Amino acid sequence: MSNRNNSISLVVSVLMIGALGVVGWFAYDKLNDTPEPPTPGPVNPVPPAPVEELVGVQLFLPAKGGVLEFETQEGTVPVGADPCVYAVNEFLRSLDAVPATAEAVSCVIEDGVATLDFNDEFRRTYGTEDEAILYNGILAVMGQFEEVSSVRFLAAGEPIDTIGNMDLTGFHPVTRQPGSGSNGDSRKPASS
């Protein structure tokens, strides 16, 4: 009988160990339950960023033939760009004498004075004819902006004394093109 008791004890022990294993597995499964992924809700589309109004400016080009006159054409300022800086840089790009890397980097208008700050590449000596075209062209470009009455020249934040024989210290009155008037919008060109 002892053999029979041992067999029964062994079967009971195995069943109890199996039952504990099953209970432990269910408990582990319940405690470490992986949550269901959330069901997607309605999609809220992101509204597009507001579009800035495009601004038109007059682009100035030196007239052919050595005469100190300028031709103009309509241009559209890229979104986010300063109209004054854009118009001046387009003018600079039209001049062979100006280095391709020279550019206006900012324009601050206060009490009618437009302070144009150029990069260091702008600060150089130009020939007499080139400096006259450059100087008068910038004053004509800035003359299209109704709130600007004069220009102050800087390079890398420092006043520019000369560009050859042309004195750039102080304030320089802009040149208004015939037929330009006031359109009432700040930083927009005067309408013709």
The model's confidence at residue 38, banded by pLDDT at 50, 70 and 90, is low
The pLDDT score that the predictor gives to residue 177 is 78
* Cβ(151)–Cβ(171) below 8 Å: yes
The pLDDT score that the predictor gives to residue 84 is 97
Indicate the pairing of strand 55-62 with strand 70-77: antiparallel
pLDDT at 191 over 50: no
With CA atoms as reference, report the closest residue to 137 among 66, 82, 59, 32. 59
Q: What mean pLDDT comes out for the span 158-179?
A: 89
Residues 6+ apart with CB under 8 A from 169: 159, 160, 161
Of 34-48, 118-132, 172-186, the range with the highest mean pLDDT is 118-132
pLDDT at 162 over 80: yes
The pair of structure tokens assigned to 173 is: 């009155």
With CA atoms as reference, report the closest residue to 135 among 71, 91, 87. 91
The pLDDT score that the predictor gives to residue 152 is 97
pLDDT at 190 over 50: no
Whether the CA torsion 11, 14, 19, 20 is positive or negative: it is positive
pLDDT at 21 over 90: no
The pLDDT score that the predictor gives to residue 27 is 66
Q: What percent of the chain has pLDDT over 70?
A: 70
pLDDT at 116 over 90: yes
